[in-house]
Amino acid sequence: MQIFPENVSTYGQKIDDLFWLTSIFVGIAFVISLFVLLYPLIKNNHSRTPKAQHMTGEKMKHFKWILIALVLLLGSDFVILYSEHDAWTEIENVPAKADVHVGITARQWNFIFTYPGPDGILGTADDVVIDEMNSSLHVPINKNVVFELRSQDVIHGFFLANTRLKQDAVPGRTQLRWFNITKEGKYDISCTQICGILHSKMRNFVVAESEEKYKHYTDSLYNATGHKTATTNN
């Protein structure tokens, strides 16, 4: 059984690694705590120890064990906090070098994809908008894809599990996020904020493909008729 779905992003491994690091501390803490909890139930059962020892915890020789445990916990806390910081700044801040710009707008009940058009700039007249349920966002592999996340109506959640990325789409805000996918494939986007009756049907895809296939796709997209462009979009 795979614990995580396949990771195909450049930063996803850091999240998985953080999980395993935390698991080391959690595992040790759990085993020791269970022992501390259960052992006295056997060793100090009243049939074995009819009279209890009078320990109030006021003596340091007893209380020090609590302190030691807390210091160890504090130490593991700091290790976790320290380890997480780099990945956090990397994921939450868009890289300086952005290869592809797209717009992702959430609405009830699909994600709308906006391609920048031949001029490569979002927000211009030649942008192409794909607004359908179950549609796919095509991106090239091994490129920094930066997207502008918006919502048209209520709060939605953009979740691309195979990259580990998640971000709520909040109406009234534009948020910049990014990913860089290293393997070709078709990956699920799901919505992680309950948004109404068809919240369970809100599922689109990211199709990551080679630069060649990507260019082929965008060419046919920009040249095709029948797709909404920014000028015809209402």
CA 8 to chain centroid: 12
How far apart, in whole angstroms, are the C-alpha atoms of residue 225 and residue 128? 11
Distance in Å, CB of 151 to other proteins, minimum: 9
| Token pair listed for 14 | 């850091």
How far apart, in whole angstroms, are the C-alpha atoms of residue 231 and residue 126? 7
Nearer to other proteins (CB atom), residue 172 or residue 226 = 172
Nearer to other proteins (CB atom), residue 99 or residue 153 = 153
| # residues near other proteins by CB under 8 A | 85
Beta carbons of 101 and 115 less than 8 angstroms apart: no
| Position 126 contacts other proteins (CB under 8 A) | no
In total, the chain counts a number of residues equal to 234
How far apart, in whole angstroms, are the C-alpha atoms of residue 207 and residue 184? 7
Distance in Å, CB of 213 to other proteins, minimum: 21
Distance in Å, CB of 168 to other proteins, minimum: 5
Distance in Å, CB of 215 to other proteins, minimum: 27
Region of 38-46, 115-123, 124-132, 225-233 interacting with other proteins (CB under 8 A): 38-46
On the 0-12 / 13-18 / 19+ scale of CB atoms within 10 A, 105 is buried
Nearer to other proteins (CB atom), residue 44 or residue 124 = 44
Find the binding residues for other proteins in span 63-92 (CB under 8 A).
Answer: 63, 65-66, 69-70, 73-74, 77, 80-81, 84-85, 87-89, 91-92
Distance in Å, CB of 31 to other proteins, minimum: 10
Closest CA to 119 of 107, 111, 129, 127: 127
How far apart, in whole angstroms, are the C-alpha atoms of residue 115 and residue 118? 9
Closest CA to 139 of 5, 3, 1, 9: 9
Find the binding residues for other proteins in span 162-221 (CB under 8 A).
Answer: 164-168, 170-173, 175, 188, 190-201, 203
How many CB atoms within 10 Å of residue 175? 17
Find the binding residues for other proteins in span 140-159 (CB under 8 A).
Answer: 153-155, 157, 159
Nearer to other proteins (CB atom), residue 11 or residue 217 = 11
| Position 112 contacts other proteins (CB under 8 A) | no
Nearer to other proteins (CB atom), residue 36 or residue 125 = 36
